[in-house]
Amino acid sequence: MDYPSLLKTVFGHLDELGIPYQAASGEPATDEALASAEAAMKIRLPAELREFYQTVGDGFSFFWESDSGDPKTPWGSLPVPSLSSLVKMYTGWRRLVLYSPERAEEYGFPHTKDSALAKHTAARMWHWLPIIAEENGDAICLDLGAPGCPVVFDQHDWMDGGSGDNGHPLGANWRDFLIGWGSVCFQLPKDPYWPWCFRPGGVAWDGEHFHSRFRVAELAKLHTA
């Protein structure tokens, strides 16, 4: 499924429920704009993400809430940064979040259960591209160093008492992730805390942490096909 059709399917489900939403996108990104962003970041964007920017637009924002008067009711959003914002996010990420091999060795990650694993994780994270930032410091990223460029979850406190691992998989690639998340109308988990809706190797999109009223059968079938 192409991205405009995916988004149209989600919009249609919300229309059927009578839920208002806001959606806006930039102009489709040109080859030159993509090349400029890639040159600034010194990376190659995954084909699925390049397609999103060229068919949906250079930046996209989407938001809905089922009851604006009650903060506890379901709501969803999909904020995809413009290419210029993506460059700023990526350069800031590399400067502030990541550990160089020297820093990783010096620090040693003493608060993790497996310091060797933590050092390996820190090295893997140099290949991640953050694309959606969470308010608590977590981020949804693409792992440019893994086959297919899977979407992974960066838990900001991964080195504080955890196993030493980070980067739970959210989707096989950008398209797969958006189909999965779109199958629940881009809901935020009920709590909202992403790790509580994880299952081995992915996300329990059909689980209790997402309101069933906003499940899109067409996308759910496509994601599990």
Where is average pLDDT lowest: 31-45, 62-76, 83-97, 107-121? 62-76
DSSP for 138-196?
A: -EEEEETTSTT--EEEE-TTTTSSS-S---EEEESSHHHHHHHHHTTTTBPPSSS-GGG
Taking the CB of residue 210, how many other CB atoms lie within 10 A of it? 23
Q: What is the H or E stretch that residue 56 is in?
A: none
pTM of the model: 0.94
Query: Which residues, in sequence order, are CB contacts of 54 under 8 Å at separation 6+?
Result: 28, 29, 30, 34
Q: Please write the tens of the pLDDT for every residue from 38-84.
A: 999 999 999 999 999 999 999 999 999 987 666 678 899 999 999 99
Q: Please write the tens of the pLDDT for every residue from 179-200.
A: 999 999 999 998 778 999 999 9
* Token representation of residue 200: 């081995």
Domains annotated for the chain, with CATH where assigned, are 3-224 (3.40.1580.10)
The whole-chain average pLDDT of the chain stands at: 94
Distance CA 185, CA 180 (A): 9
Region at 223 (left for phi over 0; alpha for psi -120 to 50; beta for the rest): alpha
